[in-house]
A and B are shown apart, each in its own frame.
Chain A
């Protein structure tokens, strides 16, 4: 097994040095457990909670799963610089897959305590970490999006009616004043997602947002939205879905006190997109690209917190897309 100095040297030569500088890599090694696995050893067990995020620093690992209705299936192979266990860790749900060392492998276990430590003392490093995780999540989302759109194309799922199409195209959100939105800042502050924000930071976010009142069936983000955009749901709910060939496969619903973001927050001109449409009347705060840039340049601490939520929204999407993939293979979904 390599000692920390050797590992540090190795990491400096690796792709991880594109993400983190030498000091950050040293911090990563010093503050976390380095776990070593022999080929064939289980790193994460399907059905068990991940106790942190695993960053592969050497070797390759195999992602495998016992899928309902399909038996055990090998899904993909990951290697140095890839993260595993992020859905289980952030969503606090058992791992949907098992991770097995395909060769001798080493991982850094990024524990909850370490991530909180980074947020408190090294928010920029935490931001880089969230950025790297989000990039990987987007790559997986793209792959799954392709798989699902192929399924939809070849399926006899019902198409949206002409009436529904017209309804969506005519339903536009209207801008309202912040006072009309009845935002309960204390409730927002108590929520799981915003409890790390100070009251002042929440007020800053609100002042920089456009407040929208959106009727049901109003498209907030579609494939045509190529600019980075975030929304915070204040009241009501938003449905995520994949639309292809005018057929809609719904993913999950985003309720109050949750931030969501489009893929453009991570990729310029993304080749795929997820649709976000109100499924109830909703009051939302919209952060447009220029405001997100403004936060990034002038309110870095606030931006790091917002970005953390962008990362979590993408992970939540990843989870729902995985679930849809399973359901499409089991259920007769939205058939004639």
Chain B
């Protein structure tokens, strides 16, 4: 199981999210609170959008297959950069020699010419059987851009192919439709190959203007016969907290309460041991957060394919 963190709102020093809270994102790589039997050691990546940067529509990208808690460069730039939107991912894969740990497999994925980033927490059962049937749903220009071996990058390519354009502004309707169409394509191809085994698809998508996140599992509750315990048979969690700004308030890390809700964090697990100011998103839900006139609005809907 991987971990994902996304943020949209007032500019925030990356360090405040990655390192400072008591269940900080970096800590989740070696000491996750949920599903702690699988550590997230197979790579770290982030995409961050900053209005003051060159070409602000495009994110900073940082990816490494190194362990993030030993990464001095990451620590250094996390203490200098204050983006208003961020999507970070810790890759967690099972401990065996068949796994390919490489920078190409680190999320979030952002193809050249696009500003849309996607990170995935989950795994498609028997992906190798489906993947070439997925090709027909990927627009030709995106096909050569798949460099890695993960199911997640293919999901990204399918998602991008459902959008009206790879770089631009999207309405909530565009985003929701593209996500639901992507899930339907996965469902259709699985059905063609008679794959009906539990496969989590928690997606986190952003272009700096919105964050969309799903808490979803295809064929939840169906495990292969004689399967041992696996993180991929559980319903992966999804949480959010929102408020004026995130930081150290009243002796703890939390969202500052205020009438104006200017910031939101959506993550696979809360950044603090105290989860009471976090809301757990229910299963089969699609959440979209947007920032307009300094105010976050959250829409959610059931995913019923």
- Residues of A at the B interface (CB closer than 8 Å) are 46-48, 65-66, 68-69, 71, 93-96, 182, 233, 235-237, 239, 248, 250-253, 255-256, 279-282, 320, 323-324, 326-327, 330-335
Q: A248-B302, A327-B300 are in contact. List 12 more A-B contacts (CB 8 A).
A: A233-B221, A235-B222, A237-B221, A239-B284, A250-B284, A250-B302, A253-B220, A253-B284, A323-B280, A326-B279, A333-B301, A334-B301
The verdict on B261 contacting chain A, using a C-beta distance below 8 Å, is yes
A residues within 8 A CB of B66? none
Q: Write out the residue numbers on chain B whose beta carbons fall within 8 Å of the beta carbon of A239.
A: 283-284
Contact B299 A252 (CB under 8 A): no
B278 → A minimal CB distance (Å): 8
B300 neighbours in A (Cβ, 8 Å): 327, 331-334
Q: Is B277 an interface residue (CB 8 A)?
A: yes
Check B222 against A94 for contact (C-beta < 8 Å): no
**Interface magnitude class on chain B:** 20 to 34
Bound Cα distance A65, B297 (Å): 23
Are A280 and B279 within 8 A (Cβ)? no
Q: Which residues of chain B are near A71, meaning CB under 8 Å? A: 257
Which chain B residue lies CB-closest to A258?
B221
A-B contact pairs, 17 of them (CB 8 A): A66-B277, A68-B241, A68-B242, A69-B242, A69-B261, A71-B257, A239-B284, A248-B302, A250-B284, A280-B219, A280-B220, A280-B221, A282-B221, A320-B282, A323-B280, A326-B279, A332-B298
Q: Is the CB of A323 within 8 A of B275?
A: no
Q: Which of B187-230 contact A (CB under 8 A)?
A: 219-223, 225
Complex CA distance for A323 and B279, rounded to whole angstroms: 7
B238 at the interface (CB under 8 A from A): no
The listed residue with most A CB atoms (<10 A of its CB), out of B276, B278, B297, B304, is B276
B159 at the interface (CB under 8 A from A): no
Residue B36 at the A interface, CB < 8 A?
no
**Residues of the A chain whose Cβ atoms lie less than 8 Å from the Cβ of B157:** none
Pair B242/A236 contact, Cβ less than 8 Å: no
A residues near B235, Cβ cutoff 8 Å:
253, 255
Residues of chain B at the chain A interface (Cβ within 8 Å): 219-223, 225, 235, 241-243, 255, 257, 261, 273-280, 282-285, 287, 297-302, 304
Smallest beta-carbon distance A282→chain B, Å: 7
Least distance between B9 CB and chain A CB atoms (Å): 14
Contact B298 A330 (CB under 8 A): yes
- B283: A residues at CB distance < 8 A: 237, 239, 252-253, 279
Decide if B221 touches A256 in the complex (CB within 8 Å): yes
Taking a contact as CB atoms closer than 8 A, the residue among B220, B257, B285 that contacts A237 in the complex is B220
B276 pairs with A236, CB closer than 8 A: no
Query: Contact check: which of B219, B273, B298 meets A331 at CB < 8 Å?
Result: B298
Shortest C-beta distance, B263 to chain A (Å), equals 13
CA distance A256 to B227 in the complex (A): 14
Quick one: closest A residue to B225, CB to CB?
Answer: A182
- Which residues of B are found within 8 Å of A236, using beta-carbon distances? 220-222
Report yes or no: A47 in contact with B274, Cβ–Cβ below 8 A.
Answer: yes
A57 to chain B minimum Cβ distance, whole angstroms, is: 27
Report chain A residues within 8 Å CB of B221: 233, 235-237, 255-256, 280, 282
User: In the complex, A123 Cα to B79 Cα: how many Å?
Assistant: 57
Q: How far is the CA of A334 from the CA of B282 in the complex (A)?
A: 13
Residues of B close to A96: CB separation below 8 A = 276
Do B282 and A253 touch (CB < 8 A)?
Answer: yes
Cβ-closest 8 pairs across A and B: A47-B274, A253-B283, A237-B221, A236-B221, A332-B299, A331-B300, A47-B276, A237-B220
